Structure 1
């Protein structure tokens, strides 16, 4: 195993002053690696692929809080609806409606984060501000149609670049948008509080820019070998 428990403890120490949560990104990693971090106290794990997540959930402890952090197709929601705690990448009204539908079938409430496109790369997913506003207006106008989802915050992925000024700017812009959305749509709600930004390479900047939840994989689990998938 290439896991790094010392790095894990170091990340937790850095998160502590910010009261931020760690999502340990375990995609492509074996069950044994997850079990090792579970034994060290970690309970929140993030996965990107539906089949991999369902396979792991079936054999790992029931008190793990599973987060789906990848791009999610509407027709795959039904497979994770019975157990997923939070879906990070809600990037359309259609997807939010399907999550609500499948959560209702399971008599559950699923936490959702609205993904906003903040990076320079067009390949990254997420809504632009106009699409975000349209979703929020529909949500606010029809609350009973979304009774099985809880919009708990927002998520974004910065540009994959070594330019720290650009990354910080993108994080800062999302933090400002998060504040505006909270004031406009969720000012009376205490659950709209999560800002999921920051990964292994940029999480320290994300914390400084207001992140409440970082998604860290390679720093904890080692680099991924996708050829073995």
Structure 2
């Protein structure tokens, strides 16, 4: 099945849930991205800054680039001018650096805060307590060049969909709690990024607004 047909399939699946498809294009050649683009896909997810900047330089300028991987503070400056959304903001120090770089170029950069919901040490993110404390702090409210527009989480990599559903449900409940209880000019809770190729259906049932799908669209990943 072609890339275009794969995208069509997932758009149809996601439509009843109102979830946006983020086509995870990491390690994929520009030709593959352009085939998806020609079909109408505009939101692409990358997890490495160098690859992201190289693709952004040569591919159409109306692409919405999503940084979905772990982002190092010293690399924020390279994507700050054009990034559409940073999904995996996993610490207050990283958010402060994004704010600093955004201020330098007079932008407000939309971000999602990553919450640690999995039973795996390899995952990153705020704990629930850390997240709530930070969002209530004056340090957070003082950040004028970022806008936190929601949360992001990665479930445990397991075939146990009951566990996955429990983790996603907890994140959805935290999302609603923040939306209800915390008010700040730089906070607008509207996006919940959760769900990948293996667990997007459960994520959508729980309330995901963005799913990140790669291999099911572009084929198996090329490890480089």
What TM bracket, shorter-length normalisation? Answer: over 0.9
Deviation string for 1:20-70 (max 9, x for gaps)? Answer: 111100000001100000000000001000000000000011111111000
Deviation string for 1:120-170 (max 9, x for gaps)? Answer: 1111111111221232122xx256631110100000000100011111111
TM-score (norm 2): 0.95
Equivalent residue, structure 2, for 1:192: 189
Shift of 1:17: 1.4
Equivalent residue, structure 2, for 1:164: 161
5+ residue gaps, structure 1, are none
**Which consecutive segments of 4 or more residues in structure 1 shift more than 2 A?**
2-5, 141-145, 186-191
Please show how residues 197-216 of structure 1 align to structure 2 within 5 Å: 197-216=194-213
Q: Structure 1's 119 and 190: CA in aligned 2 closer, same or farther, altered over 3 A?
A: closer
TM-score (norm 1): 0.93
Please show how residues 100-139 of structure 1 align to structure 2 within 5 Å: 100-138=99-137
Q: Secondary structure at the match of 1:192?
A: strand
Task: State whether structure 2 residue 65 is matched by structure 1 residue 99.
Answer: no
Which of the pair is proportionally richer in strand? 2
Let me know the Cα RMSD of the aligned residues. 1.7
Distance 1:54 1:64 in 2: 12
Question: How many pairs does the alignment contain?
Answer: 224
Please show how residues 1-229 of structure 1 align to structure 2 within 5 Å: 4-138=3-137, 141-142=138-139, 145-186=142-183, 191-226=188-223, 229=224
5+ residue gaps, structure 2, are none
